[in-house]
Amino acid sequence: MEFHIGEHWTVTLLGMSVHMDTLVTLWITMAIVIFFALLLTGKTKLVPSKLQATFENIVTIFTSLTKEMGEDGKRHTPLLMSLFLLIITGNLIGQLPWKILNFFPFIKSTHGEFASPTNDINVTAALAIIVLVYYILSGVRVKGLGYFKHYFQPVWFMTPFNMLEDIVRPLTLALRLFANILAGEILIMVMAGLIASLVDINSISAFCQSTLGGILPASWIYNITIFLGSLLPLPIMFFEIFVAFIQALVFTLLTSAYISGAVKKH
Partner 1 sequence: MDLTVLKFIAMGLAIGLGVIGPGLGLGLATKAIIESIARQPEAEGQISKYFYIGAGLIEACAIYALLVVILIGFVLK
Binding site for partner 1 (CB under 8 A): 3, 5-6, 175-176, 179-180, 182-183, 186, 243, 246-247, 249-250, 253
- Burial class of residue 175 (count of CB atoms within 10 Å of its CB; 0-12, 13-18, 19+): middle
Q: What is the nearest approach in angstroms of partner 1 to the Cβ of residue 175?
A: 7
Q: What is the nearest approach in angstroms of partner 1 to the Cβ of residue 68?
A: 15
Rounded to an integer, what distance in angstroms lies between the CA atom of residue 63 and that of residue 80?
Answer: 9
Q: What is the nearest approach in angstroms of partner 1 to the Cβ of residue 248?
A: 10
Q: Which long-range contacts (CB under 8 A, 24 or more apart) does 206-210 make?
A: none
Shorter beta-carbon distance to partner 1: residue 24 or 253: 253
Burial code of 90-122, b = ≥16 C-beta within 10 A, e = fewer? bbbbbbeebeeeeeeeeeeeeebbbbbbbbbbe
Task: Taking each helix axis as running N to C, give the angle between helix 218-230 and helix 201-210, from 0 to 180 degrees, rounded to the nearest 10.
Answer: 120
Rounded to an integer, what distance in angstroms lies between the CA atom of residue 208 and that of residue 226?
Answer: 16
* Helix (H/G/I), strand (E/B), else coil: 155: coil
Rounded to an integer, what distance in angstroms lies between the CA atom of residue 74 and that of residue 62?
Answer: 9
Q: What is the nearest approach in angstroms of partner 1 to the Cβ of residue 6?
A: 7
Q: What is the nearest approach in angstroms of partner 1 to the Cβ of residue 18?
A: 21
Shorter beta-carbon distance to partner 1: residue 92 or 179: 179
Single-letter code of the amino acid located at 252: T
Shorter beta-carbon distance to partner 1: residue 236 or 250: 250
Q: What is the nearest approach in angstroms of partner 1 to the Cβ of residue 71?
A: 26
Shorter beta-carbon distance to partner 1: residue 179 or 226: 179
Single-letter code of the amino acid located at 16: M
Shorter beta-carbon distance to partner 1: residue 30 or 186: 186
Shorter beta-carbon distance to partner 1: residue 226 or 250: 250
Give the rounded distance of the alpha carbon of 45 from its chain centre.
Answer: 33
The count of other CB atoms within 10 Å of the CB of residue 8 is: 20
Shorter beta-carbon distance to partner 1: residue 29 or 180: 180
Rounded to an integer, what distance in angstroms lies between the CA atom of residue 241 and that of residue 249?
Answer: 13
Q: What is the nearest approach in angstroms of partner 1 to the Cβ of residue 247?
A: 6
